[in-house]
Amino acid sequence: MRAYRTIKRLLLACVGISSLWIISSLLSGNDDSGMEENIIQHAKQPRAKDPQADNGVDENNDLYKVVPGNKLTFMQTDNSGHELSNDSLNIHNERNQEPIVDSLTLSREKLKQSILTINHEQKVYNQDRFADRSPDSIVILVMVHDRLEYLEYLIQSLGKADGISDALLIFSHDYYSEDINRVIRQITFCRVMQIFYPYSLQVYQNEFPGPDPNDCPRDITRDKAQKINCNNWEHPDSYGHYREVRYVMTKHHWFWKLQHVFSGLEATKNHNGLVLLLEEDHYMAPDFYPMLQKMYQLKKEKCPECDILTLGSYDKTFVYKDRNDKVDSLVWHSAKHNMGMSLDRKTWEELQPCVPQFCTYDDYNWDWTMNYVSHKCLSSALQVMVFKSPRVFHIGECGIHHKGKGKCSADELVNRIDSTLVANKESLFPDKLILSPKTRPLKARLPKPNGGWGDVRDHTLCKTYRKEASKVV
């Protein structure tokens, strides 16, 4: 028994030394390039097997590891090399009979490799049905987490939209779910792709970019953080707080997906037109697609300075009479014009010199960060063209800022939106759009940053996305 305890202590000591070495390697070096390499390589590589662990079970073997909270399930391999659980071997996509990987039974390393494989393959579904896209085709980029109920409503509304067969619909995920995959791969109304944010919390549950055991607690003081030598103790945010993973991941995912679509996908490498940004809890009007095309043409003819086109706002009342064909040209404001916004390659390239500012500004919100970039980095603030009558609606009640008040169901709001659209069906699909006369913009102070983005590791990882976009990430 004494010998057993001695061996156990030696093994624990080896694990502790290995963990300290990994942490020090992440934070070593004073130049950004060295830190970038450490972060990216560490995020990509699986942990090495401990040669001293000879207990008959390799703790790094994916047959024995599961995502916490799920029972151990024996793994088998299909013909493509993907590993499936015994419970999921008979689950296939109804349309093309391809096996679907079950994230509940995949280990984190196998999940990581599946995500890398999907991103590398860049498979486009329904390409045989919709071989050609028009010159003014729109790429629709949907940011997806795990709220399937909302996503199904969004997909239903997209499927009812006029002209949708011309689109390329890309779903960008930060969570791997068999149920979500099955719903997406049953879409038949346009070409479809899936991409996965490769540094998600689902995969990196115990290491950066997820929560590292040695990360500083959010509310610890800087002096105490220094004493315990926790990660990034030198750099709390503007309010003295340390990193909260669930908040920073949204900004990471938002920026990565755009860099990846504009710079890393074969299907979009020659696309210079609009990329429409949606989220899983949005809902679309049936005329949104042709109206966005008309808006883009109006921009070219009468508002070349308009950088962003937005389909709606957060107004609680939806008015169409006498304003269904009207659009405004305004200074882009993050709190008003971030829903259903679209931009083309020209605008995105003009934003690239501001990547350092975007990646280091101390605000975990991507839209507030963009607001700062607009006013403090660009030569002139971003201009937006926005519909007076919305073509996109927000149906999510349980987002990242939800405080737990009220019912979190989309049913009632979707029914109200549908009723409004039916009552105003004669106002939809106007023949042309009218740009309202410009008004002098009101001067307003930039809001203070919200913080939550002080960790230099986040800054460094964020800056790598453009460099990594053209590689297999």
277: closest CA among 196, 339, 193, 333? Answer: 339
174 marked ligand binding residue? yes
312: closest CA among 292, 290, 294, 296? Answer: 292
394 marked ligand binding residue? yes
Answer for the pair 365, 450: CB distance below 8 angstroms, yes or no: yes
Burial class (CB in 10 A: 0-12, 13-18, 19+), 360: middle
Type of residue found at 99 = P
Residues 6 or more apart whose CB falls under 8 angstroms from that of 18 comprise 50
Question: What is the residue whose two structure tokens read 């029972």?
Answer: 71
102 marked ligand binding residue? no
Which residues contribute to the annotated binding site for substrate? Answer: 174
Which residues contribute to the annotated binding site for Mn(2+)? Answer: 281, 394
Which residues contribute to the annotated binding site? Answer: 174, 281, 394
